[in-house]
Amino acid sequence: MTTSSMKRAAVAALAAALSVAALSTARADITDYEFRLVQTDIKQGNGAIVAVRLVDKRSGKAVPDAVIFATRIDMAPDGMETMVAPIEALPSTEPGVYRFKANLMMAGGWRLSLGAKIQGETGTIENKLVLKATP
Ligand SMILES: [Cu+2]
Q: Tens-of-pLDDT digits for all 135 residues of the chain?
A: 566 666 776 666 656 555 554 554 457 899 999 999 999 999 999 999 999 999 999 999 999 999 999 999 999 999 999 999 999 999 999 999 999 999 999 999 999 999 999 999 999 999 999 999 999
- Whether residue 23 is contained in a domain is answered as no
- Whether residue 18 is contained in a domain is answered as no
Q: Per the structure, how many domains does the chain have? A: 1
Distance CA 111, CA 50 (A): 11
- Whether residue 20 is contained in a domain is answered as no
- Whether residue 11 is contained in a domain is answered as no
- Whether residue 51 is contained in a domain is answered as yes
Domain interval for residue 63: 30-134
Q: Closest Cα to residue 105, out of 131, 75, 64?
A: 75
CA 106 to centroid of ligand 1, rounded, Å: 5
Burial-class residue 112 by CB neighbours within 10 Å (0-12, 13-18, 19+). Answer: buried
CA 116 to centroid of ligand 1, rounded, Å: 26
Task: Report the percentage of the chain scoring pLDDT > 70.
Answer: 81
- Whether residue 7 is contained in a domain is answered as no
pTM to 2 decimals? 0.79
- Here the CATH number for the domain that contains residue 39 is 2.60.40.1080
CA 39 to centroid of ligand 1, rounded, Å: 20
